[in-house]
Amino acid sequence: MARGRRRHGASPRGHRRRWWYVAAAAVATAATVLIAYSVWTPSGTGGTRTTAHQDTAARPAVSRSATPSPSVSNSASASPSPSASPSPKAGASKKSTPKPTAKANQPAPDQPSAAPAGKRLITVVNRTPKTVWAVVTNTSVYPSGRQLAPGQSLSVTVANNWGGRIWGRTGCTSTAAGHCATGDCTSVCTGANPPTTLGEFTFDAYAGMDFYDVSMVDGSNLPMWINISHTTTTDPVSSTGCYKGVCTSDVDCPTAMQATSGGQVVGCKPPCAAFGGDTYCCRGAWAGRENCVPSKWPVDYTQVFKRAAPYAYSYAFDDGATMPCKGACYYRITFGTTGS
């Protein structure tokens, strides 16, 4: 019975060993599962670093397709939420819908903002609502001109002894060297066909003085004023185009003096071109400074231009319109009216 009890007692110990093996196997299996599971789950303990490394390696590919970079985030469909990517959207908005600012009247980045020693700076600004082809004689902007859309400008440097004319052409078919509705001339010219508003300049003309003027002797196709800087000379014209309390405006042109192209009024002719005759052309008995007196004409048509630009030459002997500037002056020529 004792042996029988020992054999009977040995059986529970055998069962206990078998259960231990089963338990050990179960633990090993569970450990294997946990290890395998931790490879794919970031919350695993032993496999956290491995999982993080694999996840980091995998993210760039997903990020490129799911989260657009700033260079392509200007698409509204790619970035529907303003809070998700504010910077790219703000950048896209500025590029796609620019708003006119004062900077539009400044020279482009590739244009000079100052002149080297012995040179002068000339800036031409278009503040009209139409495209203007700006011409600056004796420079690279001649004779073909430079196209200026509304708000655009150009800057050129010229020699200290430069002299020339500046004007704007309008209604050009190609470049200003081709046919234009106003400001036209041959491919090489010193002026333009009437009616054309001119800026006239002679640098270092006498005792270090420049002389300049706006001339409507040949009529007017564009409003224009000139400002000076880089000098001790006081600018007689304000930056907005006002002179002695009167500001620049469009010419109110009488019908008989209107120049037309394609059925549209494009400028205002000078009295000589509109009416002819010795009186308005200051010929014959009306020739010369003493005889060419607009106040003695049947109608003083010079006032048509003086009312629009009080600082401008309105006839050949209107010498009070000549303005001086001392030193290496810079010039800014504006096409436009006050408030434009």
| Mean predicted lDDT score pLDDT of the chain | 76
- How does pLDDT run across 73-106, given as a tens digit for each residue? 333 333 333 333 333 333 333 333 333 333 444 4
The pLDDT value recorded for residue 181 is 92
Distance CA 65, CA 87 (A): 19
Distance CA 125, CA 154 (A): 7
**26: amino acid identity, one letter:** A
CB 171 within 8 A of CB 183: no
Distance CA 327, CA 160 (A): 10
Burial class (CB in 10 A: 0-12, 13-18, 19+), 166: buried
Distance CA 261, CA 270 (A): 17
Furthest CA-CA distance within the chain:
165
The pLDDT value recorded for residue 142 is 86
- How does pLDDT run across 248-295, given as a tens digit for each residue? 999 999 999 999 999 999 999 999 999 999 999 999 999 999 999 999
Distance CA 278, CA 321 (A): 23
Joined tokens for residue 66: 């799911």
As a whole number, mean pLDDT of residues 238-254 equals 98
Distance CA 224, CA 171 (A): 17
DSSP 8-state secondary structure symbol assigned to residue 193: P
Joined tokens for residue 225: 């004023």
Distance CA 195, CA 183 (A): 7
* Beta-carbon contacts of residue 312 (< 8 Å; ≥ 6 apart): 197, 213, 214, 215, 216, 224, 305, 306, 321
Confidence check: pLDDT of 22 > 60: no
Helix (H/G/I), strand (E/B), else coil: 163: strand
State the pLDDT confidence band at 191, using cuts at 50, 70 and 90.
low
